[in-house]
Each structure stands twice: as structure tokens, then as C-alpha cells.
């Protein structure tokens, strides 16, 4: 094999650049020439391909986002879109593709694989909801950004005896919220995996106030039936007496931006290198991820079939620690 392609797809994640760099440079080591598709599968369909040599990926590792750009492509979900993407790949003599992304992206990778085209997926999403990898590129940085925000919020919250509802990303997965709540010492956490009773959350805040706390933090997963705004509205409509004054902060895309931390740079580098190793070994149709701390592969067919389960055991611990 001489020519491979690489693309980043779906929500960008801090560390994607390190993964691209690793694919390109380890690819050179295997004798590959690498082409990058701009803006994910959309770029493939549009024929927007750039040759990537060792120098083209210099100085990118310390930046968040992705130098190739990313997108969610509806067109690629259609047979017509995929046929066009395959035509472009064949036209450029690109014999295999590395897809760096999360759930939607790996669905796309699997669709190409199912049509007989060699694809290797690299596990990358801040949501950490991808089956086949215990942690994905971007998660650690996103957690640290949310933690820094919470540490900051606590100082202003304490000054005014306020409670903050802090909404974090994660789509329909509560992983980021739960980890941030435990590591940030939150008084409560609201995640989609557990049914939310807003009256119970109000009671927890009231009790924390009575126990003499100077502030309270409730971490709310964006995918919960009650996001932060809905929870605040519920408290207002029910005239819930919380003790604390209430404020809402939505972290949103702040969590996805900025420089990747050491963990994500290392993980992304290892996964990018593992992806080209797979191709060099003549293997494809797999996701490279981390399992039990080791680089491991999972068939894309399994990845798209399973939903990663959130270990909610830490929830009980978070409650005990919030005394
Ligand atoms: O999948 C990553 C993610 O950041 C989710 O946490 C969030 O729900 C979604 O992407 C936001 O998507 P967009 O950037 O398209 O608004």
C-alpha cells in the first residue's frame, strides 16, 4: 500500500491534531504517502484533499481543534454520497482511510468498510461514549476545562452564598458530568442515565444550605431531560426554597476548545501510530482505542452495534462526599 487518507469528523476534540501528526509521520515510516480530507467526509465527497508530509504537520500538536477541519455530513449517510466519496478515493489512488472521530464518524467508517474499503477508526470524542475505548481523545482535556470552570465558580459562589447549576457537554451521555462532579466536589449531579427528580435536587440544595455550606454546585449533563435551564425553570415555577441564590452557567463549546493536555497528546499520538500499524499489517475494519490502559482494536461492526455503558458506581460516592 502506498497512499492512505486521513480525516477528522464530527465534533472536534483536543488532541485530534496530534493524531493527524502521528498518522502522517508514522505513515512515512511505513512507506505511506498521506492525504488529508478537509472537513471530514464532506471533504471526501467534494474531492477536497491535501497531501500531508512531515513538515505539513509541524507545530500543530499544541493546538485544539483540527488542522483538517471537521464536519457532520448528512450527504455521506446516503448511498450517493458514499459512492462519490469512494470514487474520489479511487481516483486519487488512496487505498485506505483513517477516520478520527466519535460515534457518528465511526458509523461512517463502518459504512465504507461494509462496502469493502479498508478503514481504521481512531477513537476521538470529548463525550467518551464510544464503545471499544475506555477513554477517547479529548475527554481528559474537556474534563480539566470543566474543572477549572468549577473551581472558579466556587470562589464567586462562596462570596454570595449562591448555588450554581453548571451544564456540561456530553450529548446523551453523562460521563463528563459525573466525572466533573466527583473531581470538582459538586453537591449534586444530574445525568441522563439516572431519572432526575428536580424536587430531590432542590431538597439536596436546601439541605446543603442548612448544613452551613457557603456555596453549592450542581453539575448538569446537557443530555438530561432537565438541562440546567429547565431545572432552574422548575425551581422558579415551584417556588422552591433553596436557601442559596441560584445562577446558571452553561460551559458548552468552551469545553471543546483550547490546548490539549499531556494525556490527550499522548493518547492521540499512540492511537494515530496504532492506526497506521494496523494498515501496515494489512488489517482494517477496526477501531483503535484504549482498553485496560493498552492500545486495543475492536471491529467497527461491534463498535456501531453497542452502546457504551456508563459506570454509575461513582454516583453513590459523589453523594457521600458532598456532605
Ligand atoms: O459530540 C461532541 C459534542 O461536543 C457533544 O458533547 C455536543 O452535544 C455536541 O458535540 C455539540 O455539537 P455541535 O458542535 O455540532 O453543536
pLDDT digits (tens, 9 = 90+) for 3-28: 999 999 999 999 999 999 999 999 99
* CATH numbers and ranges of domains, the chain: 3-138+260-305 (3.40.50.450), 140-256 (3.40.50.460)
Please report, rounded to a whole number, the percentage of residues in the chain having pLDDT higher than 90.
94
Q: Whose CA is nearest to atom 2 of ligand 1?
A: 11
pLDDT over 80 at 154, yes or no: yes
pLDDT of residue 1: 64
Within 8 A by CB and 6+ apart from 189, the residues are: 174, 177, 178, 181, 218, 219, 220, 221, 315, 318
Beta-sheet pairing, 245-250 with 162-168: parallel
Residues acting as catalytic residues: 127
Q: How far is the CA of 3 from the centre of ligand 1 (A)?
A: 31
Closest CA to 256 of 176, 150, 157, 164: 176
Q: How confident is the model at residue 184 (pLDDT cuts 50, 70, 90)?
A: very high
pLDDT in tens, 293-313: 999 999 999 999 999 999 888
Q: How far is the CA of 322 from the centre of ligand 1 (A)?
A: 29
Is the CB of residue 31 less than 8 Å from the CB of residue 89? no
Task: Give the Cα separation of 205 and 193 in Å (integer).
Answer: 21
Identify the residue whose cell numbers are 504537520. Answer: 57
Q: Whose CA is nearest to atom 11 of ligand 1?
A: 11
Task: Give the Cα separation of 262 and 41 in Å (integer).
Answer: 28
Which residues have any ligand 1 atom within 6 Å of their CB? 11, 102, 125-127, 169-171, 222, 256
Rounded to 5 degrees, what angle do the CA atoms 317, 319, 323 make? Answer: 115
For ligand 1, what atom is nearest to the CA of residue 223? 8
Is residue 74 packed enough to be buried (19+ CB in 10 Å), middle (13-18) or exposed (0-12)? exposed
pLDDT of residue 315: 86
Q: How far is the CA of 31 from the centre of ligand 1 (A)?
A: 36
- Furthest-apart CA atoms within the chain: distance in Å: 69
Please state the pTM of the whole predicted model.
0.97
Task: Give the Cα separation of 7 and 106 in Å (integer).
Answer: 12
Q: φ, ψ for residue 3 (rounded to 5)?
A: -120, 130
Amino acid at each position: 500500500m502506498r497512499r492512505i487518507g486521513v480525516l477528522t469528523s464530527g465534533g472536534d476534540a483536543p488532541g485530534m491534531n496530534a493524531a493527524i501528526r502521528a498518522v502522517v509521520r508514522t505513515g512515512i515510516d511505513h512507506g505511506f504517502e498521506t492525504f488529508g480530507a478537509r472537513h471530514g467526509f464532506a471533504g471526501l465527497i467534494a474531492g477536497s484533499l491535501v497531501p500531508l508530509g512531515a513538515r505539513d504537520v509541524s507545530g500543530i500538536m499544541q493546538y485544539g481543534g483540527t488542522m483538517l477541519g471537521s464536519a457532520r455530513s448528512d450527504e455521506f449517510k446516503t448511498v450517493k454520497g458514499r459512492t462519490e466519496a469512494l470514487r474520489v478515493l479511487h481516483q486519487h489512488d488512496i487505498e485506505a482511510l483513517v477516520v478520527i472521530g466519535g460515534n457518528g464518524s465511526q458509523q461512517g467508517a463502518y459504512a465504507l468498510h461494509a462496502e469493502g474499503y479498508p478503514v481504521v477508526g481512531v477513537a476521538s470524542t470529548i463525550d467518551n461514549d464510544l464503545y471499544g475505548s475506555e477513554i477517547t481523545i479529548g475527554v481528559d482535556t474537556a474534563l480539566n476545562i470543566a474543572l477549572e470552570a468549577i473551581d472558579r465558580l466556587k470562589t464567586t459562589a462562596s462570596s454570595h452564598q449562591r448555588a450554581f447549576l453548571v451544564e456540561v457537554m456530553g450529548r446523551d451521555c453523562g460521563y463528563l458530568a459525573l466525572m466533573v462532579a466527583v473531581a470538582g466536589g459538586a453537591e449534586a449531579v444530574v445525568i441522563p442515565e439516572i431519572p432526575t427528580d428536580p424536587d430531590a435536587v432542590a431538597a439536596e440544595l436546601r439541605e446543603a444550605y442548612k448544613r452551613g455550606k457557603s456555596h453549592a454546585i450542581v453539575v448538569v449533563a446537557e443530555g438530561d431531560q432537565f438541562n440546567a435551564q429547565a431545572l432552574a425553570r422548575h425551581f422558579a415555577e415551584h417556588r422552591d426554597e433553596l436557601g442559596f441564590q441560584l445562577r446558571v452557567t452553561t460551559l458548552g463549546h468552551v469545553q471543546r476548545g483550547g490546548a490539549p493536555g499531556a494525556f490527550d497528546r499522548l493518547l492521540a499520538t499512540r492511537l494515530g501510530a496504532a492506526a497506521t500499524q494496523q494498515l501496515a499489517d494489512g488489517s482494517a475494519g477496526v477501531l483503535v482505542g484504549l482498553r485496560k490502559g493498552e492500545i486495543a482494536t475492536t471491529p467497527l461492526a461491534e463498535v456501531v452495534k453497542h452502546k457504551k455503558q456508563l459506570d454509575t458506581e461513582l454516583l453513590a460516592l459523589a453523594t457521600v462526599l458532598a456532605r
